[in-house]
Amino acid sequence: MDVLILSRKPDVPSVGRLFEEFRKAGHTSVILEPEDENIKKSSCDLIIPRLGSFRFEESLVLLDWHDRRGTPILNRPQSLRDARSKWISYLILREEGLPLPESRSLAKQALPKQFPYVVKKMDLSRGEGVFLIRSAEDLMALPVEPEWIYQEYIAESAGQDHRLLVTPDGLIGAMKRQAKPGEFRSNLAQGGSATAFTPTSLEIEIACKAARVLNLDIAGVDLIPSRQGPLILEVNGCPGFDGLEKATGQNIAKAYVEWAEARIGAKG
């Protein structure tokens, strides 16, 4: 199998692990940036996008081209678009009856004066562009954006969440993340810590359904505990898994290889 890993950051651990595990399994793997002129010339059996926020839409246009040619892509471009947009993904998930914190799309001047609550930029991840608004002073200091996502603050989650890496059909791995002292965001990129975690059957069911309705082959689904039960905080179509491997001791990259072998069908 010839595998193209699409990434602007080849040194990111998850990218290197995918490259390594596909090679170890006897496949050909290459890491290319979206701007590489060889991409449109290359013929491959599978593309695995590992994309961040920088020039995200331009990268998806390239994936659209490969998608129209029939190249298998682990998480097709439209699914990545939907997952990347916090508001679009919220609307899709809500329509399917999945549990989520109350959220609205609002301009800064329309944000409530009753505190606390969380606001998020529309299309960032890794805890970036997320603010806890506790007071009028916090609201005044908020940067100007065309729109914010207002989200109710779930105090009982106490700076923790559960990251489940799933396919539409089942769990790959899970970890509990805890924010560092003084921080409400539990993302590892924001200094949070992680430990191995065994999710409940309900959490697995919710996470798998979220991947299914967003048409994601593999997804990172963040859940927070609440008095109403587990709530979906975010669904990531290009989830990092270095922290998950470290927390659980699982070979997550190998799970990607096994997924590809089961669906593409070629071994070695």
DSSP H helical ranges for 114-251: 136-141, 201-213, 242-248
Residue 111 near residue 131, CB atoms below 8 Å: no
Strand ranges for the chain from DSSP E: 2-6, 28-32, 46-49, 103-106, 117-120, 130-133, 148-152, 160-167, 170-178, 193-196, 219-224, 231-236
Distances (CA, A) of 22 to 3, 4, 61, 183, 205: 8, 10, 26, 37, 29
pLDDT tens column, 26-61: 999 999 998 887 777 778 999 999 998 778 888 999
Residue 267 near residue 26, CB atoms below 8 Å: yes
3-state class (DSSP) for residue 132: strand
Sorting pLDDT into bands at 50, 70 and 90, what band is 63?
very high
pLDDT tens column, 106-155: 988 889 999 999 998 877 666 578 898 999 999 999 887 778 999 999 98
Architecture of domain 156-250: 2-Layer Sandwich (3.30)
Lowest mean pLDDT among 8-12, 100-104, 217-221: 8-12
Q: 171 — phi, psi (to 5°)?
A: -85, 135
Correct CATH for 103-155 of 3.40.50, 3.30.1490, 1.20.1250, 1.25.40: 3.30.1490
Give the start-to-end residue ranges of the domains of the chain. Answer: 2-75+255-264, 103-155, 156-250
Q: Does domain 2-75+255-264 have CATH number 3.40.50.20?
A: yes
Q: Supply the mean pLDDT for the chain.
A: 91
Whether the per-residue pLDDT at 166 is higher than 80: the answer is yes
Confidence (pLDDT) at 187: 62
> What global pTM score does this model have?
0.91
Confidence (pLDDT) at 188: 63
Average pLDDT over residues 249-255: 98
* Same-fold call for 2-75+255-264 versus 156-250: no
